[in-house]
């Protein structure tokens, strides 16, 4: 399998090259150049999660041996890292509606599903490419990716990792998870701006020729742990297949029957993995894209015009507070028939003017595969409260956005296809909002997030994940805050460059 840039300026390259580079030199994203079909997926039912992962990964990472992929998957998806024996269990809310819990990893968020295996991919890729340079992992995070990447790459030989997060754009739990991070090779910097500022800054750093030259002279090479890196995206395809197989095993789905997936998303990576699963043969009827008040993706799915020229809202689902959805670029490449010129033009328009409109043919394909709506903060809180009353199940704020949008979808379409809602974070991670929804405004007034976590546990019987216990008592190790135009200097300082 070969990979090339969505913008046409790089490729073809091997999977190992694409993973090590993270982002293409022309600013595009690496995409597979051949279609993948996994026709035998129903035969994987008896495999555990690591075994299913090997089956998916071997189709995309063809320059990795079976033994290497087994090593990566078995180490990543072990009981040492995940607190549930199924790794990503499926829970029934009601007949025909299921929740796929993706938050049983060390940081209690779905990013662990990819960021526990990427640190195994990267050193292997570097060795395959004959490189001896130290990899510098740069990450922009809206909350969850940062901690998951820090935890995954902590003290991994031959790597250093620097995470940028929006100073006022993450929850208190997310912030403390990052600024208390241990590890000799890790750095964390708050950016005075929103996530799009941090993400744009990291992309600019990747393509800065002067900085790349300085790194090369000092024995470093950039890579990424964001979902712009193919090695971060490809593991996410696995849990779509795994959820389907679990439902077949339970008798909830007939083999080959269609299913919908509802995906809360901001950067489009999580739902794009569902698109790749569909293209590989999983019988996905509809991918339902759930947005919060930063509903740029909803407008795009409905109209074919992507317009980031709108207010930016800080919401109760901060990991989705994004106006520039990087992974949409990959989808546009595929739906345009690999027209890298069109993709480069659209991305150029987005950068210069803040919007672009795709062709009628691409727009029609988007509407055939995807459906989208959004939920604001009021709807999010109401959905958390209603789901607890109706199902006895506690949702985090992002998953609640997904359920609210699914309810809108059912009302709008009448579609009764069995549906899986991707749950992207433990409710304990967003305890202030969840407690507010379940206990009421008066009960939460004047309480810290950690007081509220205790109250939430008493009220619902939730178990606090190990990674969140005693978080407020851990020493703060990272205090640096920079303006968005000082991110390059923060990289130089972190690496000890002149």
Query: Pick from 270, 310, 307, 312: which is nearest to 287 by CA?
Result: 270
Residues 338 and 447 in one domain: no
> Cα–Cα distances in Å, from 104 out to 48, 88, 182, 318?
15, 7, 21, 20
Within-domain flag for 151: no
Residues 447 and 383 in one domain: no
Q: Do residues 285 and 417 touch, judged by C-beta distance below 8 A?
A: yes
- Length of the chain counted residue by residue: 498
Average pLDDT over residues 310-339: 95
Residues 433 and 337 in one domain: no
Q: Where are the beta strands (DSSP E) in 225-273?
A: 259-264
> Cα–Cα distances in Å, from 436 out to 25, 313, 324, 399?
46, 20, 30, 16
State residue 498's pLDDT score. Answer: 66
Within-domain flag for 123: no
**Among 197-206, 230-239, 335-344, the least confident range:** 197-206
State residue 207's pLDDT score. Answer: 85
Average pLDDT over residues 283-292: 98
144-153 and 118-128 helices, crossing angle to 10°:
60
> Cα–Cα distances in Å, from 5 out to 117, 138, 286?
23, 19, 27
Residues 410 and 333 in one domain: yes
Q: How far apart are CA 62 and CA 53, in angstroms?
A: 14
Regarding predicted confidence, which is higher, 388 or 203? Answer: 388
**Among 257-271, 372-386, 455-469, the least confident range:** 455-469
Within-domain flag for 389: yes
Q: How far apart are CA 379 and CA 236, in angstroms?
A: 28
Within-domain flag for 157: no
| Total structural domains within the chain | 2
**286 an active-site residue?**
no
Domain finish residue from 428, 449, 480: 428
SS3 45: coil
pLDDT averaged over every residue in the chain: 95
Instruction: Return the CATH number at 97.
Output: 3.40.50.1100
Q: Which runs of consecutive H residues, i.e. helices, occur in 65-194?
A: 66-76, 112-115, 118-128, 144-153, 172-179
Within-domain flag for 142: no
395 phi and psi, to 5 degrees?
A: -100, 145
**Among 3-17, 88-102, 146-160, 290-304, the least confident range:** 146-160
Residues 349 and 410 in one domain: yes
Within-domain flag for 62: no
Query: Pick from 249, 252, 276: which is nearest to 420 by CA?
Result: 252
Predicted confidence (pLDDT) per residue in 22-49, tens digit? 999 999 999 999 999 999 999 999 999 9
Residues 379 and 447 in one domain: no
Query: What domain range includes position 250?
Result: 90-108+233-428
Q: Do residues 286 and 417 touch, judged by C-beta distance below 8 A?
A: yes
Residues 318 and 361 in one domain: yes
Q: How far apart are CA 400 and CA 94, in angstroms?
A: 15
Q: How far apart are CA 102 and CA 111, in angstroms?
A: 8
Average pLDDT over residues 184-205: 94
As to burial, measured by CB atoms within 10 angstroms (0-12 exposed, 13-18 middle, 19+ buried), residue 475 is exposed
| Catalytic option among 111, 147, 203, 286 | 111
Within-domain flag for 258: yes
Within-domain flag for 422: yes
Residues 258 and 303 in one domain: yes
Q: What is the pTM of this model?
A: 0.93
Residues 449 and 307 in one domain: no
Average pLDDT over residues 143-163: 91
**Among 21-30, 127-136, 411-420, the least confident range:** 127-136
- Dig out the tokens for 18 from the structure: 């694409």
Residues 294 and 351 in one domain: yes
Q: How far apart are CA 170 and CA 317, in angstroms?
A: 9
Average pLDDT over residues 315-344: 96
Element at 422 (helix H, strand E): strand 419-423
Give 164's contacts (C-beta < 8 A, 6+ positions apart): 138, 139, 140, 141, 146, 189, 190, 191, 198, 201, 202, 487, 490
Residues 403 and 417 in one domain: yes
Residues 349 and 420 in one domain: yes
């Amino acid at each position: 399998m070969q990979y090339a840039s969505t913008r046409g300026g790089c490729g073809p390259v091997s999977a190992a090259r694409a993973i090590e580079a993270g982002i293409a030199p022309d600013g595009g994203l690496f995409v597979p150049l051949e279609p993948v079909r996994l026709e035998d997926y129903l035969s994987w039912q008896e495999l555990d999660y690591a075994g299913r992962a090997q089956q998916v990964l071997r189709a995309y990472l063809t320059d990795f041996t079976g033994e290497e992929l087994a090593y990566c998957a078995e180490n990543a998806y072990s009981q040492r890292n995940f607190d549930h024996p199924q790794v990503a269990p499926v829970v029934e809310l009601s007949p025909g509606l299921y929740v796929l819990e993706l938050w049983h990893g060390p940081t209690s968020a779905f990013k662990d599903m990819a960021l526990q295996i990427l640190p195994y991919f990267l050193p292997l890729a570097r060795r395959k490419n004959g490189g001896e340079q130290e990899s510098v992992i740069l990450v922009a995070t809206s909350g969850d990716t940062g901690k998951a990447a820090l935890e995954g790459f902590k003290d991994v030989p031959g790597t250093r990792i620097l995470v940028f997060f929006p100073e006022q754009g993450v929850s208190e739990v997310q912030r403390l998870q990052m600024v208390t991070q241990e590890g000799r090779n890790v750095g964390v910097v708050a950016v005075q701006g929103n996530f799009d500022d941090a993400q744009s800054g990291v992309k600019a750093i990747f393509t800065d020729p002067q900085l790349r030259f300085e790194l090369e002279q000092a024995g470093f090479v950039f890579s990424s742990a964001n979902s712009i890196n193919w090695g971060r995206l490809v593991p996410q395809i696995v849990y779509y297949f795994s959820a389907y197989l679990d439902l077949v095993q339970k008798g909830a789905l007939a083999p080959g029957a269609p299913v919908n997936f509802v995906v809360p998303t901001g950067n489009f990576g999580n739902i794009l993995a569902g698109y790749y699963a569909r293209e590989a043969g999983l019988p996905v009827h509809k991918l339902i894209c759930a947005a919060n008040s930063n509903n740029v993706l909803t407008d795009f799915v409905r109209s074919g015009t992507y317009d980031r020229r709108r207010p930016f809202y800080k919401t109760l689902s901060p990991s989705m507070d994004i106006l520039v959805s990087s992974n949409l670029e990959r989808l546009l490449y595929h739906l345009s028939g690999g027209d890298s010129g069109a993709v480069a033009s659209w991305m150029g328009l987005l950068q210069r003017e803040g919007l672009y409109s795709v062709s009628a043919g691409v727009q029609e394909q988007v509407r055939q595969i995807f459906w989208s709506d959004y939920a604001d903060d009021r709807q999010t809180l109401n959905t958390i409260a209603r789901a607890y009353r109706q199902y006895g199940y506690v949702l985090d704020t992002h998953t609640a956005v997904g359920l609210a949008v699914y309810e809108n979808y059912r009302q709008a379409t009448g579609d009764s296809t069995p549906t899986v809602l991707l749950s992207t974070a433990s409710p304990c991670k967003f305890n202030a909002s969840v407690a507010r929804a379940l206990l009421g405004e008066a009960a939460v007034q004047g309480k810290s997030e950690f007081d509220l976590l205790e109250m939430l546990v008493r009220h619902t019987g939730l178990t606090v994940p190990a990674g969140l216990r005693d978080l407020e008592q851990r020493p703060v190790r990272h205090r640096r805050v920079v303006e968005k135009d000082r991110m390059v200097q923060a990289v130089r300082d972190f690496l000890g460059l002149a």
